[in-house]
Amino acid sequence: MQCRGSTMAGTAVVLWASICGVGQAAEPLPIPEAELRQRLARTPRQVAEQLAGVYGKKLDAVAYIPALPLVAKLQLSDWTGEPKYAAEVRQLVAPYRRGDKMPVPKSGSEQAGHLLFAELARRSEGEERQHWIKLSRLAADQIFGPDGQAHPLMPFHNEMSDAVFMAGPILAATGKLTGERRYFDAAATHFASMRRLCLRSDGLYRHSPWCEAAWGRGNGFPALGLAFALSDWPKDHPAWQELLAEFQKHMGALKPHQDATTGCWHQVIDRPESYDEYSCTCMIGLAMLRGIRRGWLKRDEFQPCVDRAWRAVKERTSADGQLVNVCTGTGKQKTLEDYFKRPAINGRDSRGGAMGLLFATEWLAPE
């Protein structure tokens, strides 16, 4: 059995879900052809609004999974002129605005969650802006030791390629908000340390030094992390050209591994027998789309990849937020086989929903 996206089966389209190619049978998810046409006909705004109706409904902890859909909702209001999404976010963050909660990160996930505060700072003025910047600093300042010197890596990094995203963007965002270049200097050092730990010679990222496997989301995180950080990075900083080149190299390394049939990237990027994976497809597609629009990537080379990824995501996203093949949470794995066997979630999933919403919203951003 192959894991190959959609195939016609009478009047239905079948999306193969769960784990394929490693001796475990997948259950087909039949989608009526009429519904598939409806999914594919949706505009990015329609997909974004449908996902926004399901995801980003609470903020019990400031971690990346609950925070990122709120970031996307702020952008959705910015780019559609519809204020209700931003109003929903401001209601959820009210305890943090009042100072009832001052969350000090205890993990990389929580550091990345503070991107929400940076996004709120961008949209605020005066005392409120300073308050959100103060919360952003709670994460970004963790890279500095008691002597004010930056650590080679952000604390809580755990040697996983995830940390390119968990730490890099919040450092860059805080640097832009404050005008303090020390945050960019620290971010550049962190990125360099992560490359030494996890970047393979072929331009893909191993998930950790434990194993050479190029896990799907383990490449989605570096793609998204550099795209976000570069968006805030000053072009006169000494590391700008190096980071831009690293981003371009990574996108170039990912490009040939996109499945020509499904439009997805796989659970293990360079192993097409692994299942096609939703969240990394969103993350890589978003990074490429931003790269094209910011002039970092050549449109004629990468736009077809983005278009195929977007079609795949629309196919795999129902109007009520049901998703196909979102890899479950994954820490360090010891073998390639371990990554093959990570379960795929089918249905509603907060991690996948966050990435799908970000990808959909990115299409609405001005060129």
Please give the chain's pLDDT, 367 residues, in tens.
Answer: 233 444 433 345 566 554 343 323 345 467 889 999 999 999 999 999 999 999 999 999 999 999 999 999 999 999 999 999 999 999 999 999 999 988 999 999 999 999 999 999 999 999 999 999 999 999 999 999 999 999 999 999 999 999 999 999 999 999 999 999 999 999 999 999 999 999 999 999 999 999 999 999 999 999 999 999 999 999 999 999 999 999 999 999 999 999 999 999 999 999 999 999 999 999 999 999 999 999 999 999 999 999 999 999 999 999 999 999 999 999 999 999 999 999 999 999 999 999 999 999 999 998 8
Cα 26–chain centre separation: 26
What pTM was computed for the model?
0.94
Neighbours of 141 (CB within 10 A): 14
189-201 burial, b at 16+ Cβ within 10 Å, e below that, comes to bbbbbbbebbbee
Residue 17 exposed, middle or buried by CB count within 10 Å (0-12, 13-18, 19+): buried
Cβ-based neighbour number of residue 324 at 10 Å: 28
Pick from 285, 289, 305, 308: which is nearest to 297 by CA?
289
**CA-CA distance, 234 to 352, in Å (whole number)?**
31
User: Rounded to 10 degrees, what is the CA torsion of 77, 82, 88, 94?
Assistant: 70
Residues composing the chain = 367
Nearest-5° Cα angle at 253, 212 to 237: 100
Q: Is 264 left (phi over 0), alpha (psi -120 to 50) or beta?
A: beta
Burial 349-358 (b: 16+ CB within 10 A, else e): bbbbbbbbbb
CA dist., res. 329 & res. 291, Å (int): 27
Angle at 50 between CA 45 and CA 54, to 5 degrees: 140
- pLDDT at res. 166: 98
How many C-beta neighbours within 10 Å does residue 178 have?
15
Domains of the chain: 6-362 (1.50.10.10)
* Amino acid 210: pLDDT: 97
Termini Cα distance of the chain: 41
Cα(358)–Cα(304) distance, integer angstroms: 19
Q: Which residues pair with 327 in a beta bridge?
A: 344
Question: Which residues make beta-bridge pairs with 262?
Answer: none
Instruction: Check residue 102 and give its pLDDT.
Output: 87
**Residues 79, 277: Cα–Cα separation, whole Å:** 28
Closest CA to 283 of 345, 323, 228: 228
CA gap 324, 17 in Å, rounded: 6
- Give the separation between CA 318 and CA 38, rounded to whole angstroms: 10
Contact 64, 113 (CB under 8 A): yes
Q: What is the pLDDT of residue 280?
A: 98
Q: Do 269 and 214 form a contact (C-beta atoms < 8 A)?
A: yes
Specify whether the CB–CB gap between 245 and 191 falls below 8 A.
no
Quote the CA–CA distance of 174 and 151 in Å, as a whole number.
17
